[in-house]
Amino acid sequence: MRKSITAAGLMLLFITLSFAAWAQSDSIAATIAQKLATKHSIKIDNKLVSYTATVGTLILKNEKDELIASIGYTAYTKDGETDNSKRPVTFSYNGGPGSSSMWLHMGIMGPRRVVVNDPLPNGPAPYKVEDNNYSILDVSDIVMIDPVGTGFSRAIGKAKNIDFWGVDPDIKSISQFIKNYVHENERWNSPKYLLGESYGTFRSAGVADYLQEHFGISVNGVVLVSSVLDIRTLSFQPTDDLSFIVNLPTYAATSWYHNKLANKPASLDAFLKEVRTFAFGEYASALLKGDELSEEEKNKIADKLVSYTGLGKDYWEKANLRVVQPQFSQELLRGTEEIAGRLDSRYKGISQDQLSEYAFNDPQSSDISPAFISAFMNYYTTELKVSKDKNYNTGAYVFPDFKWDWKHTRSNGFFGDASTPNTAPDLKNAMSTNPRMKIMVLNGLYDLATPFAGTEYTFDHLGLNKKIRNNITMKYYEAGHMMYILNTAAAAFKKDVAEFITTSSK
């Protein structure tokens, strides 16, 4: 005779099976998650700092407790610290989107730094790596994060890399990683900071808000390096004049640097103040008139543009007073068989096509990438003892299906995701719900990738309550997008960020 199974028996069987599945899932996660720790020491500001470097992976799960991603990271923690409530931790990443954290890692954040001749040509190996006196490791532990598809980070289980390649899933996965790291390493009571560069600043605005809204984690501060929160400021969209307006001050700074101005002012700061006034005043008003702008007005504006950029009047008139960044980079040095850089417009590169209207390659990126990649890979496998059989992706661009989904719910307007992506509303909400959170924005004056006037425009239009406007600090460097590869700027970067963390963590 067959025995019937009672409801209680069914429940017990379900619990047993669920526990077995959970245990198996945890066992798999434990197998995938790895850590490799090494001990080191460094002198920062003539003070010895002993630290542990940990190269590891953390596992992310979805709401069904299924494994979805293995996120790679490199953590630097100061030895001898016994009270985590007094020891800040800074989570850092680069941008792209699709870039690993290698650039910040070897440029300014990590305890070892690649030496480049900024802005002079660097050439092939050998390259020099030295102790990084500009690292913030003396004031904060550091966790360098590689998003899915970069570094050692990969989708696992039934998930695919492309599931993480978009504004919202990227914000969510990085936030999940930070929460998991905080939990695993008992850093719940530590002062916490986000430091992202370029698209990493776009990410940070969303992460600061997501951590607060979903995990109850309030960060003490956010450092935005070469910031862009509103993609509209970069996009040069048809019939939208904003990008032309906010790029003009950086065009002017670049022309000043390359001695292309007929009457070069002695002071760059005073000159840029004048250009800003013109850009957001006369120039903006003229562009907004569109085809209604009179020939007399157009002629007057063109003369001003010539005096501020050195580009010919005929060129400005043919461009209808609107020159996009690749056109400017090509035209500025026309006749010298060179182009100006995008990430850092101090750099010059060879132009093979003197008839070209646009500069499509970037001299700065072409010059320093081999140095960073070679130095980082050598550092990882020799000093940090990472196995040579592990494949570290410096970017997700190696994947044929890499494509970014730019939809972002919070930036939607009346026409939904037809709006240009913008995480400024995320930052505004994060600052409003956490009014003690501080923001520091670091700008390179020669950065044509994320122009400083675009950043100023974005922050001037956040619509913040007066009580928290002073929580934002702007800093400027006579350098480019990666301002820290210039030694003088690196020293200022370290001073600014260290003071920011020390002050806001109290």
d(C-alpha 199, C-alpha 449), whole Å: 10
Phi/psi for 393 (5° steps) reads -90, 120
Positions in the chain short of pLDDT 50: 1-24
Predicted local confidence at residue 1, as pLDDT: 39
**Per-residue pLDDT at 24:** 47
Are 438 and 374 in the same domain? yes
Domain count, the chain: 2
- 426 and 284 in a common domain: no
Question: Could you tell me if residue 4 is inside a domain?
Answer: no
Same domain, 66 and 165: yes
Domain boundary among 321, 344, 364: 364
Strands (E), 183-332: 192-198, 221-227
Q: What angle do helix axes 242-257 and 452-460 make, rounded to 10 degrees?
A: 140
pTM, rounded to two decimals: 0.93
Residue 318 tokens, joined? 């043919």
Residues 137 and 42 in one domain: yes
Q: Is 284 exposed, middle or buried (0-12, 13-18, 19+ CB in 10 A)?
A: middle
Question: What is the rounded average pLDDT for all residues in the chain?
Answer: 93
Same-domain pairing of 166 and 59: yes
Same domain, 46 and 72: yes
* 15 within domain boundaries: no
Q: Tell me which amino acid residue 375 is.
A: A
Instruction: Answer yes or no: do 403 and 493 share one domain.
Output: yes
Same domain for 45 and 150, yes or no, is: yes
**Is 110 a member of any domain?**
yes
Q: Are 392 and 373 in contact (CB under 8 A)?
A: no
Report yes or no on 17 lying in a domain. no
The tens digit of pLDDT for each residue in 332-351 reads 999 999 999 999 999 999 99
Q: Which of 340, 364, 388 is the last residue of a domain?
A: 364
Give tens-digit pLDDT for 35-92.
999 999 999 999 999 999 999 999 999 999 999 999 999 999 999 999 999 999 999 9
Q: Is 145 contained in some domain?
A: yes
**According to the model, what pLDDT value does residue 117 have?**
92
Q: Do 216 and 305 belong together in one domain?
A: no
Does residue 333 sit in the same domain as residue 402? no
Range of the domain at 473: 22-232+370-504
| Same structural domain, 296 and 167 | no
Domain membership of residue 7 (yes or no) is no
| CATH label of the domain that carries residue 156 | 3.40.50.1820
Q: Is residue 9 part of a domain?
A: no
Residue 416's pLDDT is: 80
What is the C-alpha separation between 192 and 220, in angstroms, rounded?
A: 5
Statement to judge: residues 468 and 426 lie in one domain: yes
Q: Please give the radius of gyration of the chain, using alpha carbons only, rounded to the nearest integer.
A: 25
pLDDT of residue 34: 83
Given this model, what pLDDT does residue 75 score? 98
Task: Provide the pLDDT for residue 462.
Answer: 97
Of the three residues 347, 364, 381, the one that is the final residue of a domain is: 364
**Nearest-CA neighbor of 194 among 220, 168, 176?**
220
| 144: in domain | yes
